[in-house]
Structure 1
């Protein structure tokens, strides 16, 4: 698991190069007035987290993927059967 680092917005602005170096090790959370506001990460990490262009079908078809239980509920539209007699 990659380490997550937190920087204040002021520290980020003072040393962007240092923040980029930290992002090579793992995500960097940049705070604004003490609250998380931004995340700096490598492009490779972003692509991995974003699915690297994979479709939902690709993810669901991946045998090493996620164990997803999906049982949609029956929907009633309030319609009645047609009387054809």
Structure 2
């Protein structure tokens, strides 16, 4: 079981190093006016939560002859009018 730490924004600003060490034991919750506002995680925990996500850069960097990955391109809605070439 992971340890849960909570710091107010003021405490976090005063004890950044302590909060970073605490993040190695579990998530550190940072509150604003008593309400959870942010969570500080170790990079290992963050990567674990990311799961099997592969960024486009990581996927393109794969070596070998057969790279197999899925990538969903984000859709964009551009309000572009055709050029008048007359």
Same-fold status (TM-score > 0.5): yes
Aligned length: 54
RMSD: 1.2
* Long gaps (5+) in structure 2: 55-86
Distance in 1 between residues matched to 2:6 and 2:14, nearest whole Å: 14
TM-score by length of 1: 0.59
**Are 2:23 and 1:23 aligned?**
yes
Q: Which contiguous aligned blocks of 4+ residues in structure 1 show a shift greater than 2 angstroms?
A: none
1:42-57 superposed matches below 5 A: 42-53=42-53
Kindly state the Cα deviation for residue 37 of structure 1 after the two structures are TM-superposed: 0.2
TM-score by length of 2: 0.59
Kindly state the Cα deviation for residue 52 of structure 1 after the two structures are TM-superposed: 4.4
